[in-house]
Amino acid sequence: MAKSGLLGVVDDLQDSYEAGEGSVTIGIDLGDRYSYCCVLSEEATVLAQGRIRNSAETLQRYFRDIPRCRIAIEAGTHSRWIYELLSSWGHEVIVANTGAIPMISASNRKSDEADAQMLARLARADPKLLSPIRSRGKSGYEDVVCMNARDLLVRTRVKLINAVRGMVKSSGSRLPGSTTESFITKAAPYIPDLLQPALAPLVENIARLTEQIREFDKRIEHLARTRYPETARLRQVSGVGPVTALKFVLTIGDPHRFEKSRDIGPYLGLVPRRHQSGAVDKQMRISKAGNRQLRVLLVQCAHRMLTRSSPDSDLKRWGTRMAAHGGKSSRKRAVTAVARKLAVLLHKLWVSGNTYRPLFNATSLAPSQPAA
């Protein structure tokens, strides 16, 4: 019964329903221009498979008019709009995190056809096996693009600054230390005259990027204040600015989808991976799952919180004690641990709506004063 090609997929889908074969499960391995589709029957028999074009017209042709079914799609560039389109036609759509599925990502015989079929079989057996990703709808997507654009500018500026410093160092000189914001005023003037003609375009681009980043910061500040008032609760914590607060809100989406605030740590990849088998129980490096941009922002906040000039807080005291036991490795572990606890704290403040008390534990555990 199985046919190949777009027409075969459409015909087999329609024939299966007309023949009363019941509901089907569909797996779609998304590509850039084309995707591969596999349709399974209730008995896990391949009804149809073939390549389809990634366009709204093609998807509408053979998904809009079929009865409701479960469809598993691979997370990727096209997954957001395809998820919205298929969901609008009443289908149960699952966005699969294939990077967390070794049967797909680490397969020795990996192909589009095999991946699509594996997606369909896992979706038919248990959707949780797909490590589903919560797909973002149209609401707020333009704000996510704004945050991503700013992040790209920041990373580009860092690369340019590092390149300039490296080329100056290779000439026998060294630029004075500075922040990325103050590089143009504090470091760029010390570029040797011999290198000025070659490095001037890079310095100009760094200055231009700095101005563009400032414009994005103003826009993000306005968005946080007008469209996302909940960010004000998160910014009660010293070191958490509008960028981190807005990125946290946009990434988490619905805070109530987490049963416990502690579930935020694993979701953002801030907990160590574990390898336990028999008597072996290894604690490895953090998983780095979830949103990279938010994880980096939380780590940056943790660094600021552990500086001497930052305001005192329970979280700072806890992280400082952890960092004191050892050298650089302890400091790194402390920063990561503070970032994880900070994520839990932000989620708790968001859900509860409470006022942040930086020294809550210190004051509650302090010995009571004796009566006069």
pLDDT value of position 133: 82
- Could you count the other beta carbons within 10 Å of the beta carbon of residue 119? 31
Beta partners for 51?
A: 36
In three-state secondary structure terms, 269 is coil
pLDDT value of position 120: 94
Q: 102 to each of 118, 272, 275, 344, how far by Cα in Å?
A: 11, 19, 15, 29
105: left (phi over 0), alpha (psi -120 to 50) or beta: alpha
- Sign, CA dihedral 132-137-142-143, equals negative
- Could you count the other beta carbons within 10 Å of the beta carbon of residue 166? 10
How far is Cα 296 from Cα 50, in angstroms, rounded to an integer?
A: 40
Query: Taking the domain 6-133, which CATH number applies?
Result: 3.30.420
How far is Cα 72 from Cα 89, in angstroms, rounded to an integer?
A: 15
Q: 345 to each of 261, 340, 353, how far by Cα in Å?
A: 8, 9, 11
Using an 8 Å Cβ cutoff, are 35 and 50 in contact?
Answer: no
Using an 8 Å Cβ cutoff, are 216 and 150 in contact?
Answer: yes
Half-sphere exposure of 351 (CA within 13 A, CB side): 17
Using an 8 Å Cβ cutoff, are 176 and 187 in contact?
Answer: yes
pLDDT value of position 327: 74
Residues in the chain: 372
How far is Cα 8 from Cα 145, in angstroms, rounded to an integer?
A: 38
Give every residue of the chain whose pLDDT is below 50, as ranges: 1-6, 371-372
How far is Cα 345 from Cα 315, in angstroms, rounded to an integer?
A: 9
Residue 138 DSSP one-character state = S
- Could you count the other beta carbons within 10 Å of the beta carbon of residue 328? 8
